[in-house]
Amino acid sequence: MEITYVYTKKRSEFGSQCNFTDRPVELLVDILPDPTVAASFIQRDLCNMPVQCVQQMSEHEINTERLETETEGVNHVEGGWPKDVNPQEQEQTTRFRKKVEKEESYIASLTILGSLMEHCIKQNNAINIYEEYYEEEEEVQESTEEPPTAKTLHVLKDPNDIKRTATSLSWHPDGGRKLAVSYCCLEFQRASKDMSFHSYIWNLEKPNKPQMTLKPSSPIVCLDYNPKDFHVLAGGCYNGQVAYWDTRKGSQPVEMSIIEQSHRDPVYKVIWLQSKTGTDCFSASTDGQVLWWDIRKLSEPTERLILDISKKGTLDGAAGATSLEFETTMPTKFMVGTENGMVIACNRKGKTPAEKISSTFCGHHGPVYALRRNPFYPKNFLSVADWIARIWSEDTKESSIMWTRYHMARLSDGCWSPTRPSVFFTTKMDGTLDVWDLLLKQKEPTLSVKVCDEALYSLRVQDNGHILACGSQLGTATLLEISSGLCSLQRNEKALANEMFERESKREKILEARRRELRLKERGRSDQGKEEEPKEAEPQESTEDLVARAEKEFFQAIESERKKREQEQQKLQTPISTVKVEEAGKLVS
C-alpha cells in the first residue's frame, strides 16, 4: 500500500525560496486495526532483556620482572676535621679536642644534655618499657578451629637456564636457616651437554640467589647435612661416587670416592650414621649394594652389603635400592626400599650377609621412593611407592597396617611431621602436596595443596614441623608454611596415635592368624584326597609351573562354564507344555 503525495512546481519557480503557508490538517490515510490479522501472528513469551550502557572493561594482571638487588655498605672514614688538623696525627686531634672542650658553649650545652640523658638512662634501668605482660596466658590458647592451610613462603628457582630436577633437599641441622638442594636430571640419557652439575645451598633470608655452590664432577642425586658437624655435607652422585663437602673449604668436594670402589648406578640415598667420630655414612643405589663409608678415607667403603634376598651374595639377583632409612635411636638397624617394591629391614650387626637381612615387607607394586620411621613411635614406618603410601609396623611382616587409597598420580616422596605423630606429608607427580592427619581423616588427605604444575620429586620438613620444602622437576624448591593446627601437638595426641597404631597392628595380626587358619584347613582337606603339594621353599615358583597351572585352571573354568551353558540351552529348548506338566507334577507330588 503506497502512500504518495504529488506536488507540482512551475519550472520558472525552481530555485526560488520556499514560501511556507499554514493549512489545515488533511487526513491522508486512515488504517484501522484489523483483529483478524492477529491470527497469523504468534505471541512471543515475555523475556527479560537487560540493556546496559557502560564502558567495556577487562581485567588484567601483571607482575613486574624481579629486580636484582645487591646490598652494599659504605664504610665511614674520618672526615669533617678542619683543614689545619690532620686526622692521622694523634697530637693535632687531641689538641683540637681539648680546645673544644674548653669552650663555654660546649660546657653549657653538655650539662643540659647530660641531665636529659641521665633521666632516660635511669628510666631504662627502672622498668622495661617494652615488657610483655601476660605472656604465659597467651600460650595457653586453645587451638582455634581454623581450617588447615599452607602458605608459600619462598620459591627458590634454579638459576641455570637448563632446568634440572631438584632431587633432594636437606635442611641445615642448626635452626634450619639454610637449605641444601641437589639438582640432577634423572631421566636416562636426557641430560644435555650444557647442563650444569652444580648444586646450591640457599640462605632463606636471601632467596633470590643461592648462597653457595657445590661443584662436583658429576651431578649430585642426594645430599645430607651432617647432624653433628654443620659444615659438612655428604652427597651421592649420578655416576655412583660418594663425596663430601666442607662449606668452610669451598665449592669443590673435599674428597670423592674412587669410581672403581663406588656404586655402579646413581646413588639414590646417602645418610649419616650415628658414630663417635661423626664421620660415618652409608649409601644405597640401584646397583643392589649398600656401602658404608668413613669420610676420612673415601678410597674404599668400610663395609659392603649386597641386597640379595636369596642370600646368594651375587649382584645378579640383587634388588636395586631406591631409598634408605636410618634412625639414630636404633643405630643397629636400618631399612632399604627396593626397586621391586620390597622393604628390607636389615641388621648391621649380622656377621654374614645372610644374617644381615632380617626381614622383608612386600606389598608395593613399584620402587619404594621414601621410607621414614615415625619419630614418636619408631616401630611404625611409612613407605611411599607407586600410587599409594603405606604405614607398616615392624612386628607385622605380612602386610601394612594402614594405607591410603590409590591415587591418580604416582607418589614421589613422603615424610612424617617431626612435631605430630599422626601427621605425614606426601608429594605427587602432578605437583600436589598432601597433608594427612590420621586422627582426623584416614581416607583422604586433610589438606591438598597444588604447589606447581610440574611433578614434585622431593620433600623435607624442617625440624620445627612448621616449614617444609618440596623440590620440583624444573628445579624450583618451594617453601611452604603450614598452619599451626597441623604442626602443634594436640592434647592426648601421642596417646591416641599410639592407640591407633596398636589397634591397626592387632587387626592385621588377627587377620593374618585367620588367614593362616584357613590355609591350614584347606591343606587339611586337600591332603585327604590328593597328593600333598610340596610347600614352596623358594620365594618364587618357577615360571613354567605357574604358567602350566594357570592354563589348566583356565581350561577347567571354561569347560565348566560351557557345560553350564549347554544345560541352560537344553532347558530353554524343551517345549513349554512338558515343562508345565513337570511343574504340575511336582506341585501335585
Partner 1 sequence: MFLEETLKRIQSHKGVLGTIVVNAEGIPIRTTLDNSTTVQYAGLLHQLTIKARSTVRDIDPQNDLTFLRIRSKKHEIMVAPDKEYLLIVIQNPSE
The residues with which 106 forms a beta bridge, in sequence order, are: none
> Which strands, in side-by-side order, build the sheet including 242-246?
220-225, 232-237, 242-246, 255-256
When binding is defined by CB under 8 A, the residue of 86, 89, 95, 100 that contacts partner 1 is: 100
Residue 120 in contact with partner 1, rule: CB under 8 A = yes
3-state secondary structure (DSSP) of residue 276? coil
How far, in Å, CA of 266 to CA of 186, rounded? 9
Shortest approach of partner 1 to residue 112 CB, angstroms? 7
Span interacting with partner 1, options 115-123, 401-409, 426-434, 571-579, rule CB under 8 A: 115-123
Smaller CB separation from partner 1, 116 or 354:
116
Residue 144 in contact with partner 1, rule: CB under 8 A = no
Length of the chain, in residues: 589
Write phi, then psi, for 62 (nearest 5 degrees).
Answer: -135, 150
Residue among 386, 392, 381, 355 nearest 369 (CA): 386
3-state secondary structure (DSSP) of residue 151? strand
The gap between the terminal CA atoms of the chain, to the nearest Å, is 96
Residue 106 in contact with partner 1, rule: CB under 8 A = yes
Span interacting with partner 1, options 5-13, 98-106, 293-301, 362-370, rule CB under 8 A: 98-106
Between helix 104-126 and helix 90-102 the angle, nearest 10°, is 90
CB 310, CB 539: distance < 8 Å: yes
Shortest approach of partner 1 to residue 133 CB, angstroms? 14
Shortest approach of partner 1 to residue 76 CB, angstroms? 4
Smaller CB separation from partner 1, 97 or 514:
97
When binding is defined by CB under 8 A, the residue of 89, 107, 453, 554 that contacts partner 1 is: 107
- The alpha carbons of the chain give a radius of gyration, in whole angstroms, of 41
Cell of 196: 650444569
Residue 117 in contact with partner 1, rule: CB under 8 A = yes
Span interacting with partner 1, options 23-31, 117-125, 182-190, 449-457, rule CB under 8 A: 117-125
Residue 4 in contact with partner 1, rule: CB under 8 A = no
Smaller CB separation from partner 1, 106 or 555:
106
Span interacting with partner 1, options 56-64, 102-110, 214-222, 359-367, rule CB under 8 A: 102-110
Smaller CB separation from partner 1, 94 or 347:
94
Span interacting with partner 1, options 114-122, 234-242, 296-304, 357-365, rule CB under 8 A: 114-122
CB 353, CB 313: distance < 8 Å: yes
Shortest approach of partner 1 to residue 468 CB, angstroms? 28
CA distances from 272 to 205, 286, 492 (A): 27, 19, 33
SS (H, E, C) 502-521: HHHHHHHHHHHHHHHHHHHH
Q: How far is C-alpha 478 from the geometric centre of its chain's CA atoms? A: 10
Contact pattern from residue 435 through residue 474 relative to partner 1, giving x for each residue in contact according to CB under 8 A and a dash for the rest: ----------------------------------------
- The contacts of residue 308 (CB under 8 Å, 6+ apart) are 288, 314, 315, 317, 318, 319, 353
Shortest approach of partner 1 to residue 121 CB, angstroms? 5
Shortest approach of partner 1 to residue 77 CB, angstroms? 7
Residue 95 in contact with partner 1, rule: CB under 8 A = no
When binding is defined by CB under 8 A, the residue of 7, 41, 130, 188 that contacts partner 1 is: 130
How far, in Å, CA of 189 to CA of 487, rounded? 41
When binding is defined by CB under 8 A, the residue of 88, 125, 144, 540 that contacts partner 1 is: 125
Smaller CB separation from partner 1, 120 or 572:
120
SS (H, E, C) 232-260: EEEEEECCCCEEEEECCCCCCCCEECCHH
Shortest approach of partner 1 to residue 92 CB, angstroms? 12
When binding is defined by CB under 8 A, the residue of 64, 115, 189, 543 that contacts partner 1 is: 115
Shortest approach of partner 1 to residue 118 CB, angstroms? 6
The identity of residue 95, as a single letter, is R
Shortest approach of partner 1 to residue 113 CB, angstroms? 4
CA distances from 333 to 274, 325, 388 (A): 11, 9, 25
Residue 520 in contact with partner 1, rule: CB under 8 A = no
Smaller CB separation from partner 1, 79 or 529:
79
When binding is defined by CB under 8 A, the residue of 95, 110, 229, 499 that contacts partner 1 is: 110
Residue 71 in contact with partner 1, rule: CB under 8 A = no
3-state secondary structure (DSSP) of residue 108? helix
Residue 128 in contact with partner 1, rule: CB under 8 A = yes
Shortest approach of partner 1 to residue 108 CB, angstroms? 9
Span interacting with partner 1, options 36-44, 108-116, 173-181, 533-541, rule CB under 8 A: 108-116
Smaller CB separation from partner 1, 18 or 129:
129
When binding is defined by CB under 8 A, the residue of 86, 89, 116, 258 that contacts partner 1 is: 116
Shortest approach of partner 1 to residue 136 CB, angstroms? 17
When binding is defined by CB under 8 A, the residue of 24, 50, 80, 575 that contacts partner 1 is: 80
How far, in Å, CA of 556 to CA of 102, rounded? 120
Shortest approach of partner 1 to residue 138 CB, angstroms? 18
The identity of residue 268, as a single letter, is Y
Alpha helices in 464-492 (DSSP H): 484-487
DSSP labels, 309-332: TT----STTPPPEEEEEE-TTSTT
- The contacts of residue 486 (CB under 8 Å, 6+ apart) are 148, 417, 420, 423, 435, 437, 446, 447
CB 236, CB 270: distance < 8 Å: yes
Smaller CB separation from partner 1, 58 or 105:
105
Q: Are strands 321-326 and 333-338 parallel, antiparallel or unpaired?
A: antiparallel
Residue 97 in contact with partner 1, rule: CB under 8 A = yes
Residues that bind partner 1 (CB under 8 A): 75-82, 96-97, 100-101, 105-107, 109-118, 120-122, 124-130
